[in-house]
Chain A
């Protein structure tokens, strides 16, 4: 079974402060991990994915297979980063596109 856990429902930080969103997963095979983001009144959209190893909007995420984690980090939060963030997992051994989402973390960046 696949499971994704995001322990924080809400993260409130000041502009310019670092922000880290935690994501832990459970999967018996080899996972592909994603971070999706939903800004106010916008659609859910991909922020970044492990396999591409890109830094998007200053965000990075490292897959730690030993700790089964895929935490999202940004060194200096901006007000426009306020949004709902979802960690998601897709099994590399599975056919098709099936995403298992975590419960989401709401990030509020205060001025």
Chain B
């Protein structure tokens, strides 16, 4: 099976702009989770989508949002970018049952100038 794919792999934006990141899960996986990774805060959970519904949410401001489509592909959006949003954004997919192993994508490196 093909692994989790994320596009784009690298992105440079300026403060105030918005950005959309995309994630294609492993075929058959219904759960997609998003994580932010930074040197200072480490890996932090953003949200999880399952069957097009947000099932879990982390402690991030409302500028961070996401959605999932009927084919399980997911997008996350960050509006009004801030310098502190510069990070590696990881997507992970799993079959959907709780506590399953999560399979991670390569990440999207976002730099906000």
Contacts and interface: CB of A to CB of B under 8 A. Distances in A.
B100 interface: yes
Interface size class of B (residues with CB under 8 A): 20 to 34
Chief secondary structure at chain B's binding surface: strand
Interface residues of A, number: 22
Interface in A17-67: 32, 34, 43-46, 49, 51
Contacts, number: 61
B2 interface: no
B42 A97 contact: no
B102 to A, nearest CB: 6
A75 B74 CA distance: 41
Contact of B56 (A44, A97, A101): A97
Nearest to A52: B101
B33 A97 contact: yes
Interface string B34-60: 010000001111001010000110100
- Interface of A (DSSP majority class): loop
Contact of A46 (B48, B55, B102): B102
16 contacts: A32-B99, A90-B99, A94-B56, A96-B50, A96-B98, A97-B31, A97-B55, A97-B92, A97-B98, A97-B100, A97-B102, A99-B33, A100-B45, A101-B35, A101-B43, A101-B44
The 6 closest A-B pairs by CB, nearest first: A96-B55, A101-B43, A96-B56, A44-B104, A98-B56, A46-B101
